[in-house]
């Protein structure tokens, strides 16, 4: 499986912007499998050999979240 992270940033004014993060999944042949919209306060940190995803959540305090994402 291949994973691509997409970060869409929309500038509202000179000092204000909105950001949305997505993970796109592809099989080894490059065929699109699906998208996961990441919560606003999380960043993808790592993916291990068993397919577990590790995110860092910053608010209200820093913590590591481990997830197994299942695509339908």
Q: Give the residue ranges of DSSP H helices in the chain.
A: none
Residue 72, pLDDT score: 56
Rounded mean pLDDT, 18-33:
90
Chain segment 28-60, per-residue pLDDT in tens: 899 998 888 988 888 899 999 888 999 999 888
Residue 70, pLDDT score: 74
d(CA 2, CA 58): 26
Nearest to 42 by CA among 51, 50, 53: 53
Kindly tell me if the per-residue pLDDT of 24 is higher than 70: yes
Q: Measured between alpha carbons, how far is residue 43 from residues 13, 17, 20 in Å? A: 24, 17, 11
At 69, the pLDDT band (50, 70, 90 cuts) reads confident
């Amino acid at each position: 499986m291949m994973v691509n992270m997409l970060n869409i940033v929309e500038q509202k004014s000179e000092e204000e912007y909105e950001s949305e993060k997505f993970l796109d999944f592809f099989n080894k042949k490059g065929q699109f499998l699906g998208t996961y919209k990441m919560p606003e306060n999380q960043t993808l940190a790592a993916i291990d050999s068993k397919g577990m995803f590790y995110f860092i959540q910053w608010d209200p305090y820093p913590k590591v979240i481990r997830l197994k994402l299942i695509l339908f």
